[in-house]
Chains A and B, each alone.
Chain A
Amino acid sequence: MMSERRAAVVAGHGRFAEGIISAVAQVMGEGHGLVAVTNANRTPEGIEQAIREALDRTGATVLFTDLPAGSCTFVGARLARSVPALHVVTGTSLPMLLSFVAGGTLEKVVEQAQAGIRVLGEGR
């Protein structure tokens, strides 16, 4: 069990957030502090409301989103204008979330995620 819970909101298309959080739980166990938000069926205003509620509920100051051009990213960037403490990290991957849950700084999280991208196999 993790000693300190570090909250963050994960937001994205379809069941992206729910799915990637389930993968984090499989690797790190429960108590990871991540909360999922989907953009499905939501207007930009609806996405903003859902993200705001999740941030308020958890006290999180980090929002992970899936796609740089995605609606959750745009909403997050707008939110960060009025909530200076909020950091928005986009292009979220499993290594990124694992690093965050393990206690990495955002700089380390991004660095490790980028370093972890590989093309393997003879045909590369």
Chain B
Amino acid sequence: MTLELLRIDDRLIHGQVVVGWGQPCEIGFFVLVDDAIAGAAWEQELYRMGTPPEMAIEFVTVAQAVQGLARYQADPRVGMLLTGDIETMDRLTAASPSLRQVTIGGLHMKPGRVQRMRYVFLSPAEEARLQAMAARGLTVVAQDVPSAPVMSLDEVLRGDGTA
């Protein structure tokens, strides 16, 4: 098995991830990539508390994730890797050319962002960063839950928030 999904989601581990993806896809482990949470024991305990025992969580920095990638890919369980923002996923994928696709799962309303999809709000700087990631050869798509259609980056950036 391999990493089933590389997801950008400002809520990190939450209902959609644990129940929406975790149960139907039989996710066995999460890799939560966040430099701050990797050093915050209490935050880690909080995420563990909300996750079923059959789903393991590893908390790592970007550097640790790059180092651990081969191990994640070789893991017999189904895995999901999560970052809370585009910048973190950009740094990770730039350092890991074997990663080919990332999925925007949820980026919500903040000042300066424009709504592109029901669950995707982006600032001009974030849009430029996603385009730069795509120009590097990465496939960038959006999909919040398994039953939703997969939207291309072009479709996301053309969106007006209704899809």
Contacts and interface: CB of A to CB of B under 8 A. Distances in A.
Given A41-B108, A43-B10, A71 B46 contact: no
A70 B50 contact: yes
A69 B18 contact: yes
18 contacts: A13-B15, A41-B115, A43-B108, A43-B110, A44-B10, A46-B108, A46-B109, A67-B15, A68-B50, A69-B13, A69-B14, A69-B15, A69-B19, A69-B50, A69-B51, A70-B50, A71-B14, A77-B49
Interface in B112-151: 115, 121
Interface of B: 10-11, 13-15, 17-19, 42, 46-47, 49-51, 108-110, 115, 121
A5 interface: no
A67 B19 contact: yes
Given A71-B14, A74-B46, A81-B42, 14 more contacts: A41-B109, A42-B109, A43-B10, A43-B11, A43-B108, A43-B110, A46-B110, A68-B50, A69-B14, A69-B18, A69-B19, A74-B47, A74-B50, A77-B49
B87 to A, nearest CB: 15
A27 to B, nearest CB: 26
Nearest to A90: B50
A68 B108 contact: no
A101 B106 CA distance: 34
B149 to A, nearest CB: 19
Interface string A9-21: 0000100000000
